[in-house]
């Protein structure tokens, strides 16, 4: 047997490439264009290689969505660590994460979130993620103003995603700043 060059298998690198390519295709061309073959081609793997990691398109879509939630978690954790004021800290991080998603060119929060509205499993994934974060931060982030600020941040992100007129970057930034102001304790 000859000692020919063998490529070492790197399943985590391949999986990461598949997730990134799937998110990118979804962002640029829409979810229907995110076929298994298109993702495999973009990641430079065979369709069989993709199917080794994800048995079908639904499993791939859900894995991308889970990956997006993990990226959001990491971003929110960074923002939490930077905020010295405990009251409303999670809500401020949540608002900042969504308000800056587009400006950072984040394929992450514009790739698949709308799919969670119609896919029961992704809706459950989002609901569980959101409920767990609220429970974790209940002591510092409960109350009507903080809830209103989070829900308004969701609407602000959606308006930017759907490119509603009147929600240009400057307006979105001003609205996000106003939402952030709702997260501090009233000093009066």
pTM of model > 0.85: no
pLDDT at 139 over 90: yes
Best-predicted range by mean pLDDT (21-35, 60-74, 77-91) = 77-91
CATH code for residues 9-55: 1.10.10
Q: Where are the domains of the chain?
A: 9-55, 64-181
What is residue 112's predicted lDDT score, i.e. its pLDDT?
A: 60
pLDDT in tens, 23-66: 889 888 888 899 999 999 999 999 999 999 999 999 999 999 89
Three-point CA angle 152, 155, 157, nearest 5°: 110
């Amino acid at each position: 047997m000859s000692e020919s060059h063998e490529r070492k298998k790197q399943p985590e690198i391949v999986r990461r490439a598949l997730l990134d390519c799937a998110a990118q295709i979804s962002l640029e061309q829409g979810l229907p264009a995110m076929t298994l073959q298109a993702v495999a081609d973009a990641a430079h793997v065979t369709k069989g290689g993709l199917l080794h990691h994800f048995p079908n398109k639904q499993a791939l879509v859900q894995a991308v969505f889970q990956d997006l939630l993990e990226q959001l978690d990491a971003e929110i954790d960074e923002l939490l660590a930077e905020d010295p004021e405990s009251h409303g800290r999670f809500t401020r991080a949540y608002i900042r994460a969504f308000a800056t998603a587009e400006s950072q060119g984040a394929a992450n929060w514009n790739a698949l979130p709308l799919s969670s509205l119609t896919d029961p499993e992704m809706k459950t994934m989002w609901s569980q993620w959101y409920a767990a974060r609220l429970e974790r931060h209940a002591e510092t982030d409960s109350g009507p103003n903080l809830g209103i600020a989070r829900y308004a941040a969701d609407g602000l992100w959606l308006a930017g995603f759907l490119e509603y007129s009147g929600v240009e970057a400057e307006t979105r930034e001003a609205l996000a700043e106003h939402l952030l102001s709702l997260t501090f304790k009233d000093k009066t």
